[in-house]
Structure 1
Amino acid sequence: MAEENEATGEAPAGKKKLIIIIVAAVLVLIIAGAAVFFLFFSGDSESEDIAKDVAVEEVQKLEANYVPMPRPLVFNVTEGNRNRTAQIKVQLIVDNKADTTLVRKHIPLLESTLVTVFGEASVDQLRSPQGKNELRMTALEELNKATNLVEQRALIHTVLFTGFVLQ
């Protein structure tokens, strides 16, 4: 077999694989070197500093802090002559850690507001995805009205339903 490779002028299969691996490794090193050069040695440092500052500000703006309500909210909903029980687990998203502390401070007010909003919902609203979304938006508006009264600003960014049971 080796005699056939020598007679035809071809390298053995093992040597071909080794050559291909070496060529691929050299290409990877060239590409990596070019990437490092362009990342570290191109552009002016002033624009890079500004870009870093903007990126840090955006990350701080996008910081989401979750505040779970301590217990599920349970309430009754009337459907014709029948009373149904609903249970909703809620988490609130606030923009920063300071607001998280304030929201935790006002949990009783927020629970009361949510029970009032949820108690006004119809069974049809609680069953449909659009109705649930409307309920979340209404809850957000009412929660921010309540926090405006006690803290003079809206604290809640988003209301999330993490558990939803209707019986």
Structure 2
Amino acid sequence: MAKKSAPQDPAAAAEGKPAGKMKLIILIVVGLLLAIGISVGATWFFLNKSAPEAEVPEAVESQEPVKQTAIYEELVPAFVVNFNHKGRARYMQVSVALMARDQAALDALKVHMPVLRNRLVMLFSSQDFESLITPVGKEMLRQQATASVQELAQKETGKLAVEQVLFTNLVLQ
């Protein structure tokens, strides 16, 4: 009982190997084409899907008030005040900018600029030098200045014309 081996043609055996490689190459090309097709389809789907959503926020934005851009008014010249700290003369120079959102309200407040500058000079000169050395003391002074200016704006113009008082330069000596 001998095994019979089928005679194989060497030409047929040689064709089997390239046919396997050819199938592999075809599968890779088909896979790449499929991936590209899915990518293009998904991109088209999501771009078309987001187009109607772009119209919806416009309707929502019209209902909500839009925050206006900030307007800055620099108070020139800078404020210079003096202190008497432990028998020694001390000085502070502060450059101030007002931040507002409404130009008309800011223009209405400019009429009262002498009163505003007077309030700020009195506020700055009434401070304790020791507390102004610290960052917390400087921030507290800025908040007090903001409250003082907002109070004046409310009293004189009927609106809170100034959102913040900003110190653009502060020098202690």
Question: TM-score scaled to structure 2, two decimals?
Answer: 0.67
**Contact 1:77 / 1:85 at 8 angstroms: preserved in 2?**
yes
Amino acid at match of 2:144: T
Asked whether 1:38 is paired with 2:49, we answer no
> Per the alignment, do residues 68 and 133 of structure 1 end up closer, same or farther by CA in structure 2, a change over 3 Å counting?
same
Larger Rg: 2
Asked whether 1:61 is paired with 2:62, we answer no
- In structure 1, list runs of 5 or more residues that go unmatched: 1-22
- Matched residues in 2 for 1:146 and 1:124: separation? 28
> Per the alignment, do residues 164 and 101 of structure 1 end up closer, same or farther by CA in structure 2, a change over 3 Å counting?
same
Q: 2:100 aligns with which of 82, 88, 94?
A: 94
Post-superposition offset of 1:62: 4.8
In structure 2, the residue matched to 1:77 is 83
Q: 1:143 aligns with which of 140, 146, 149?
A: 149
> Per the alignment, do residues 31 and 63 of structure 1 end up closer, same or farther by CA in structure 2, a change over 3 Å counting?
farther
**Contact 1:91 / 1:162 at 8 angstroms: preserved in 2?**
yes
Question: TM-score scaled to structure 1, two decimals?
Answer: 0.69
Percent of matched pairs sharing the same residue? 28
Asked whether 1:160 is paired with 2:166, we answer yes
Partner SS, residue 76 of structure 2: coil
Amino acid at match of 1:159: V
**Contact 1:78 / 1:122 at 8 angstroms: preserved in 2?**
no
- Matched residues in 2 for 1:32 and 1:73: separation? 63
> Per the alignment, do residues 80 and 65 of structure 1 end up closer, same or farther by CA in structure 2, a change over 3 Å counting?
same
Aligned pair count reads: 140
> Per the alignment, do residues 32 and 144 of structure 1 end up closer, same or farther by CA in structure 2, a change over 3 Å counting?
farther
- In structure 2, list runs of 5 or more residues that go unmatched: 1-31
Post-superposition offset of 1:125: 2.0
The alignment yields a C-alpha RMSD, in angstroms, of: 3.0
> Per the alignment, do residues 103 and 36 of structure 1 end up closer, same or farther by CA in structure 2, a change over 3 Å counting?
farther
Amino acid at match of 2:46: F
**Contact 1:88 / 1:162 at 8 angstroms: preserved in 2?**
yes
> Per the alignment, do residues 105 and 58 of structure 1 end up closer, same or farther by CA in structure 2, a change over 3 Å counting?
farther
Asked whether 1:134 is paired with 2:140, we answer yes
Post-superposition offset of 1:38: 2.4
